[in-house]
Amino acid sequence: MKYFHELDSTAIHDKLILLDVDGTLLADGEVELSTESLTAINALKRKNEVTLCSNKKDHVRNRAVAEQADVGYVETNIRKPNVKILDFVVNEKDLDLLVIGDKYLTDDRFARRIGAEFIKVRRKEKKGFGIYPFFYFIDDLLARIFT
């Protein structure tokens, strides 16, 4: 499985991309996008619209991440996989939806519920962070069984 910045963006076009933040663009809780993540977002922006969709409800921090990449942000306290998030998504061009994320239980299920394509990426983790949280274990296990 590839990290977000390793995705081949040439085949992705005319989508509204709902892009996960933690584990996808950044390790959990980080704020500053790496050059490689920014480059990958910019590549996607050439032929698509990109908006951040995070289950971490720190809107100030999420907006700061969105501003670094000059992309939109879906600001709501509703969490993936709840389809009501779509009420907060601006899709003026009525583009097909694509969800990119690292989690089966949130991102993949959300994509299926809203009829979107899904690309699962390899999770970015904090360097030197030795503990493998239990919910990641469960999520990875379910992903292996069902996808």
Nearer to Mg ion, 16 or 121 (CB): 121
User: What does the angle CA 85 – CA 44 – CA 22 come to, to the nearest 5 degrees?
Assistant: 50
Quote the least distance from Cβ 81 to Mg ion, whole Å: 12
Sheet with 96-101: list strands edge to edge.
Answer: 72-73, 49-52, 15-19, 96-101, 117-120
Total residues contacting Mg ion (rule CB under 5 A)? 4
Which of 4, 16, 17, 20: binder of Mg ion (CB under 5 A)? 20
Burial of 96 (0-12, 13-18, 19+ CB in 10 A): middle
Letters for 22-41 (x = contact with Mg ion by CB under 5 A, - = none) are: xx------------------
Residue nearest to Mg ion (CB): 23
Letters for 77-116 (x = contact with Mg ion by CB under 5 A, - = none) are: -------------------------x--------------
Pick from 20, 12, 16, 19: nearest CA to 94: 16
Q: Residue with structure tokens 């583009």? A: 95
Nearer to Mg ion, 46 or 138 (CB): 138
Quote the least distance from Cβ 124 to Mg ion, whole Å: 9
CB atoms within 10 A of CB 20: 25
Q: In the complex, which residues of this chain contact Mg ion (CB under 5 A)?
A: 20, 22-23, 102
